[in-house]
Amino acid sequence: MSARHFLSLMDCTPQELANLIRRGIELKDLRNRGALFEPLKNRVLGMIFEKASTRTRLSFEAGMIQLGGQAIFLSPRDSQLDRGEPISDTAIVMSRMLDAVMIRTFAHSTLTTFAENSQVPIINGLSDDLHPCQVLADMQTFLEHRGSIQGKTVAWVGDGNNMCNTYIEAARQFDFQLRVACPQGFEPKPEFVAIAPERVQIVRDPREAVAGAHLVSTDVWTSMGQEKEAEDRLALFKPYQVSGELLDLAAADVLFMHCLPAHRGEEISFDLLDDPRSVVWDQAENRLHAQKALLEFLIEPAYHHA
């Protein structure tokens, strides 16, 4: 039987995604009640990090431990990946020893190559194209605070990056309208827009995107690997800062999200994370719960043999 992978929100049906989020809420409740729940006892997750991480590493590692399993952290410096072992060879070996592998990488093709050569589930912990685990947590956060996102309007303000691409997939899978406000030349990739053309609108003016929106989300203007462009980006993106005043144009019950880390004074005003409309800390915590639901969904539990 071939393993189920989670490289993109499109790897699940809308129903499966809805179930994952509901399960994330249940697992959160179990943890808050101090209940011991260890379906993944004796299961091991391998984690490959080509990019720095705080939330992704903590949430996957803590999540596996809380589910009764273990997680092993590998950076390219600690493995043969940096010394030129082909990704396909690494995938074959790792998948014979582990029960799942989470990869946080640059090129999305690293994930697809890994998945093609793996006997166990591969999870996208972030690539230059997509960040599906983060948007799963975002969708859980919206559901907890406001109920179903179906039919609502979401505004993405800033760079048409991997988060923006994933929000386009979410617009299709969770059935909402997405308005993207970005500078010329920083649009989301056309192949993602093509997934949900009737649900995505690209505009230049952030006020137009945010008007009446139920959720407003943004991200840093300079992502990992783009440091050389930082100065140019700062000038270009200046009009795209999300502030309390911008949020005032949205729906009265708008929520503000940011996948973190945030650069206060750049993509957000200095005080925005403290705004009562901001749910970024719940959103960050929900990485743990949504991913535990995902791990439980993808990894075969161990059984006692008589």
One domain for residues 227 and 247: yes
Least confident of 32-41, 77-86, 195-204, 268-277: 77-86
Please state the residue numbers annotated as binding site for L-ornithine.
Answer: 162, 219, 223-224
Domain range holding 98? 9-131+287-298
One domain for residues 117 and 40: yes
User: Which backbone phi and psi does 72 adopt, to 5 degrees?
Assistant: -115, 125
The 10s digit of each residue's pLDDT in 83-107 is: 778 999 999 999 999 999 999 999 9
Q: Number of structural domains, the chain?
A: 2
One domain for residues 90 and 41: yes
Q: For residue 47, how many other CB atoms are within 10 A of its CB?
A: 23
Q: What is the DSSP string of 261-274?
A: ---BTTTB-TTGGG
Give 306's pLDDT tier (boundaries 50, 70, 90).
low
Residue 58 has pLDDT above 80, yes or no: yes
User: Which backbone phi and psi does 33 adopt, to 5 degrees?
Assistant: -90, 0
205 is catalytic: no
Distance CA 39, CA 68 (A): 7
One domain for residues 18 and 137: no
Any domain includes 18:
yes
Sheet with 122-126, strands from edge to edge, namely: 70-74, 44-49, 100-104, 122-126
CA-nearest of 1, 7, 19, 12 to 101 is 7
Any domain includes 96:
yes
259 is catalytic: yes
Distance CA 252, CA 30 (A): 32
The 10s digit of each residue's pLDDT in 211-265 is: 999 999 999 998 877 888 888 899 999 999 999 999 999 999 999 999 999 999 9
One domain for residues 221 and 257: yes
**Helices 132-146 and 162-174: angle between axes, nearest 10 degrees:** 50
**3-26 mean pLDDT:** 98
Report the pLDDT value the prediction gives residue 76, as an integer from 0 to 100.
77
Catalytic residue among 5, 11, 66, 134: 134
Catalytic residue among 104, 108, 179, 214: 104
Distance CA 28, CA 35 (A): 10
Residue 1 has pLDDT above 60, yes or no: no
Distance CA 259, CA 20 (A): 19
What is the Cβ-side half-sphere exposure of residue 253, based on CA atoms within 13 angstroms?
7
One domain for residues 13 and 31: yes
**40-63 mean pLDDT:** 96
One domain for residues 150 and 252: yes
287 is catalytic: yes
Token pair belonging to 243: 């502030």
SS3 for 228? helix
Please state the residue numbers annotated as binding site for carbamoyl phosphate.
Answer: 53-56, 80, 104, 131-134, 259-260, 287
Catalytic residue among 23, 172, 233, 287: 287
Catalytic residue among 23, 43, 108, 131: 131
264 is catalytic: no
The 10s digit of each residue's pLDDT in 112-154 is: 999 999 999 999 999 999 999 999 999 999 999 999 999 999 9
One domain for residues 103 and 190: no
Q: Any idea what the CATH number is for the domain that residue 16 is in?
A: 3.40.50.1370
The 10s digit of each residue's pLDDT in 269-302 is: 999 999 999 999 999 999 999 999 999 999 999 8
One domain for residues 114 and 200: no
Residue 82 has pLDDT above 80, yes or no: no
Any domain includes 304:
no
Report the pLDDT value the prediction gives residue 173, as an integer from 0 to 100.
98
Catalytic residue among 12, 164, 182, 259: 259
Residue 15 per-residue DSSP state: H
Catalytic residue among 219, 258, 283, 289: 219
Residue 303 has pLDDT above 70, yes or no: yes
Any domain includes 1:
no
Report the pLDDT value the prediction gives residue 11, as an integer from 0 to 100.
98
104 is catalytic: yes
One domain for residues 126 and 183: no
One domain for residues 176 and 252: yes
Are 104 and 51 in contact by the 8 Å Cβ rule? The answer is yes
One domain for residues 277 and 198: yes
Report the pLDDT value the prediction gives residue 302, as an integer from 0 to 100.
84
Please state the residue numbers annotated as binding site.
Answer: 53-56, 80, 104, 131-134, 162, 219, 223-224, 259-260, 287
134 is catalytic: yes
